[in-house]
Amino acid sequence: MAPWIAHLRVAKALSDGMAVDKVAFAYGSLAPDSGIPNADGTAFDPPKEVTHFLRRGEGEDQIRDIEFYQDYVAAGPHFEDAFEDNSFRLGYFCHLLCDNLWVRRINTTYKKRYPELINNPTSPMWQTLKGDWFDLDFCYLRDHPDFSFWRIIMTMPNPPTCLPFISDAGFTHSLNHIRHFYSTPNPQHNIDHPYIYLNQTTMSRYVEDTAALILKICRLPQTNPPLDGLNSAVHLLDTAEYAPYAPPFGDAPQI
């Protein structure tokens, strides 16, 4: 799954080309990660199967974003007073698409290079890879102190979730964790290091490509493409548009 600031970067790029309430859209773009963790962080309430529209045992490439779209975006309220709710739900949909595209474009390549990652979410290698992902988030916030969508999350009150399977308590818990995580970095941790597994060039490429593809997907319903039998709206694109990125991803030949 894409890290949180990458989600907000995609959401900000999308909001520049969509008629949305930016505050609600920014919050919606983080809402799928709203489970409250258990004591050791191995399970969440609600679980990922609920928040990311998965079936038990499925990989993240099976996220059913079309199911969410049909139930909560296409069938949602569309009167003027619901503009914020609609924007929140659209942000949620875009988060699911972001994750789908991250798995296909980034994680697929990782798994080819590091077979121990396949069907092993507890592999220590995942934590090694994620170190670069989250450090890039910290770098981006340091280098872009006026990033508008981060300022929204840090300064604007939480909106209601407007979704029956996400509790306000879970949403608030997740947002507080995200705010604390990025606003109180460990001063002893050096983020100016070689980015072996993912560098800012690759991350920026992912953000730009993903925003362009999601904007294209969001415009497709206007032409009523057939959705029957599809799990993800990603499959409405040409396969070459969401093919895995070729390595290297970072500043050294490993990826």
Instruction: Return the number of other C-beta atoms located less than 10 Å from residue 231's C-beta.
Output: 19
**Spatial distance between the Cα atoms of 139 and 156, rounded to a whole number of angstroms:** 23
Alpha carbon 129 to its chain centroid, in Å, reads 16
- 81-106 mean pLDDT: 94
**Spatial distance between the Cα atoms of 116 and 124, rounded to a whole number of angstroms:** 9
| DSSP assigned state of 65 | H
The mean-pLDDT minimum among 33-42, 144-153, 192-201 falls in: 33-42
Q: Percentage of the chain with pLDDT > 70?
A: 93
Q: How far is CA 116 from CA 58, 59, 123, 159, 210, in A?
A: 17, 15, 7, 40, 27
Banded model confidence at residue 77, pLDDT cuts 50, 70, 90: low
pLDDT recorded at residue 221: 67
Provide the β-strand partners of residue 37.
44
- pTM score, whole prediction: 0.94
Supply 155's token pair: 């300064």
